[in-house]
Amino acid sequence: MTPDALEDLIEASTPWMIGGLVLFMFFIVYGIAKESKAGREGTLWLLAVLCMGVVGYIAKVILEFVLKQKL
């Protein structure tokens, strides 16, 4: 496999792997909330923090795209 093909494969698969990781983390956070009896509000706070991380990743991807277009 050539380095360019490997780079293309990595670039194409990264969003799918990040999506799978976020889904996996959702189930972990939900399990922690249920096990600790966090209640509705506690569960929402835990999921809100997870969503903030996802928003941060999306902002990073958008920022990289914008900066790449300017160069």
Prediction pTM value: 0.74
Domain total of the chain: 1
Domain that holds residue 52: 3-70
SS (H, E, C) the chain: CCHHHHHHHHHHHHHHHHHHHHHHHHHHHHHHHHHCCCHHHHHHHHHHHHHHHHHHHHHHHHHHHHHHHHC
pLDDT tens across 10-66, in order?
988 988 999 999 999 999 999 999 999 989 999 999 999 999 999 999 999 899 999
**Cβ distance 47 to 29 under 8 Å?**
yes
